[in-house]
Structure 1
Amino acid sequence: MQYPFFISIPHGGTEIPPEVTDRFALNRQEVAYYSDPVTQTLYNFGNAAGAVIDTPVSRMVVDLNRPPLPLPPHDPDGIIKVRTIDGKPVYRAGLFPDIHLIHRLMMEWYFPYHQQIDELIDRNRIKIAFDCHTMLPFGSAEQKDAGKKRPLICLGNNGDNRGLAVNGGIITCPGPWIQELAQEFRREFSPEFPGGAVAINNPFSGGFIINAHYWRKGIPWIQIEINRSLYEPGVNPDPSREPAYGQIDLLREKIWRVLTGFWDRPGRDEPGE
């Protein structure tokens, strides 16, 4: 059975394009650590999902989950990174891309990804979309939750901790939907991790992708963040450690049971208000 799910995996790539290779200050292990490569396995549901999109390019080159403006240096963690989430420079001194190279990178990687999202949704009768990520167990130095322990699962729809709109803002899926998805995650993960929390919009309420494409197409979007401690033991994962892919396969099965269990609830068809 194929479900009407759209799966976006914007941070799974680790490729550094040749035009910036000699400029990069990060080594290969660091690029993998600051990217999200496990997501390409963790959320690979194959043909069971209506449509899937990912990218080979590392988010450290072009972050597809950031708005196209502002450009650096106004946002050091924006679409073109100045430094990492813990303060390491991404580019060697004096070799940061100029505006012409930034434009080239955006035209090659950024805009095509977002165009393909629209095209895939139009072609595949999608009814709900998930932007899929993993997160470090603790907030890093330059993040708003620096040093704080994170939940096992974080779901985002641009709302409050119940998934409801804040101060007249726009949420990217109905509040009851994200609450029900959180219940499914708790049901699946609580027996194995009784102390683990499933949070809504904390520490991440959703990035550019769910907000922009909800506006563009109107179908519900939810951002999913899975804690890396579920497959990388320890509170500060070693960038050189190879992920436990057998465990990731089990996690993928759990996540798929959660998504399908959520969608198969009675009356689930069209988004409500």
Structure 2
Amino acid sequence: MASHEIPNVLRRTDPVGSPAPLVLDSPHTGLLFPPDFRPSIPMAQCERVADWYVEELFGAGPEHGAILIEALFRRAYIDPNRSERDLDLSMVESGWPDPVDTTEKTARGASLVWKVIDGETAIYDRPLTIDEVRHRIATYWRPYHEALKAALDETFERFGTVFHIDCHSMPEFGDARWGDGGERRADFIVGTRDGTTASPAFTELVVESLRASGYSVAVNEKFKGVELIRRYSNPSAGRESLQIEVNRGIYMDEAAIRRSERFGATKAAITRMIAAVAAHARSIAG
């Protein structure tokens, strides 16, 4: 299994054996906070933010012919699943020279550079400088996007089609910020931005595979997908992307941040789904 790494930025693992027209990416499992992070709150509070173990849950992808790309830096430092224009100017010194397009993520304090932890605790007690933000974009955000785009483009050029799964995890229970406070979420939520980034056939294959393993699956509820599937999908041209959120309650103890006894079964179900998608993708490619 060949892997290529940009130290502290990303890791790309290439397929074992015959490649499939399938790319997986895990943008939020990185655990590195670079030295210039400098929060005003305890680092331990910031370190609880990650899509824990997602790169392991989807780690069998290369064995089934997929390319797997993982971010190594923390999403709160800079979030690769946001547009470079989704920036909260209230946390940056005046004079930001580049275009800005804010979203609902900006209002939640979780835009390109996170403003708050847990939806309420301010990370910084100072404005970030323009140079700081530009450094984060150039050193971490842009290389991740370049690596993902390169993997998708080379796969498409080889097969004439490419299927992309953007891999995430979510808290077991909802909260007021998402309008589902206290409710237990589905085991998996599949997001396609209301059907704009993936075909019904791709979506249904993923949903039915996970349901066949005994899990509950919702589609486009709360988590519909953000920048990475929006930016790189074009279903009518053979480029399909969807996002999968895995409920942490089916594989880990969230409070202790450790794998639970259900981890193995959940990973096996995800591996079966990956195998089904890889087979489907190969059949489409002919």
**TM-score category, normalised to shorter length:** 0.7 to 0.9
User: Which residue of 1 is the match for residue 172 of structure 2?
Assistant: 137
Paired residue for 1:31, among 38, 41, 46?
46
Quote the Cα distance in structure 2 between the aligned partners of 1:223 and 1:175. Answer: 14
Alignment TM-score, normalising by the size of structure 2: 0.77
User: Which residue of 2 is the match for residue 88 of structure 1?
Assistant: 121
User: Which residue of 2 is the match for residue 99 of structure 1?
Assistant: 130
The CA deviation at 1:2 is: 4.2
Matches within 5 A, 1:1-273: 2-20=19-37, 22-28=38-44, 30-45=45-60, 47-48=62-63, 49-72=65-88, 73=90, 75=106, 76-91=109-124, 93-94=125-126, 96-124=127-155, 125=158, 127-159=162-194, 164=195, 171-190=196-215, 197-215=216-234, 219-233=239-253, 237-238=254-255, 241-244=256-259, 247-264=262-279, 268-269=283-284
* Matched residue SS, 2:36: helix
Unaligned runs of at least 5 residues, structure 1: 165-170, 191-196
Quote the Cα distance in structure 2 between the aligned partners of 1:105 and 1:58. Answer: 11
Give the root-mean-square deviation of aligned CA atoms. 2.6
The CA deviation at 1:246 is: 6.4
Cα gap change, 1:135 to 1:267, in 2 (>3 Å) = same
The CA deviation at 1:26 is: 4.3
Please identify which structure carries the higher strand content: 2
Quote the Cα distance in structure 2 between the aligned partners of 1:266 and 1:11. Answer: 25
Alignment TM-score, normalising by the size of structure 1: 0.80
Quote the Cα distance in structure 2 between the aligned partners of 1:215 and 1:102. Answer: 30
* Matched residue SS, 1:12: coil
Cα deviation 1:84-126 (Å, max 9, x = unaligned):
24312222x22x4222211111111111111111111233446
Cα gap change, 1:120 to 1:138, in 2 (>3 Å) = same
Unaligned runs of at least 5 residues, structure 2: 1-17, 91-101
The CA deviation at 1:269 is: 0.8
